[in-house]
Amino acid sequence: MIIEILAIIGFWLSFYAYHVEKSASKNKNYKPVCDISKEISCTKAFTSKYRKLLGKSNSFFGMFFYPVVYFLFSLNFFSLVFLLSILSALGSVYPAYLSYVKLKTFCLVCTSIYLINFLLLFFSYKLL
């Protein structure tokens, strides 16, 4: 049950990140609720040169990743969920470094997604 909830939250966070990225790129005056200050800004992270992997937005991949996790979990493919969770947790380390160190910003949405990924790893491990 907790993995399904985390997957749903991960999807909505990814969807919101995608929305912010697209809105900010179209309208320079767009200010989402996750932009609290110059140092706490999701827009800074979502519009940076690091926002893409293989030519696609990271949030775009998240909008597909979390439904796959939800679907696999509902079919009792716990080892696949665990494997994907390992990949997502490992895949969160480099973007976190880029956000905190290179961009010098704290992205609330990004950090929430990283947390979701590590929680998915933790709870999927407990299932095995």
Q: What is the mean pLDDT of residues 45-64?
A: 81
Secondary structure of the chain in the HEC alphabet?
Answer: CHHHHHHHHHHHHHHHHHHHHHHHHHCCCCCCCCCCCCCCCHHHHHCCCCCEECCEEHHHHHHHHHHHHHHHHHCCCHHHHHHHHHHHHHHHHHHHHHHHHHCCCCCHHHHHHHHHHHHHHHHHHHHC
* pLDDT for res 118: 97
If one compares 37 and 79, the residue with the highest pLDDT of the two is 79
pTM more than 0.85: yes
Provide CATH code, domain 2-18+34-127. 1.20.1440.130
- CB-based contacts of 16, cutoff 8 Å, min separation 6: 34, 109
How confident is residue 30, by pLDDT bands cut at 50, 70 and 90?
Answer: confident
Q: Is the pLDDT of residue 66 over 70?
A: yes
Q: Is the pLDDT of residue 28 over 90?
A: no
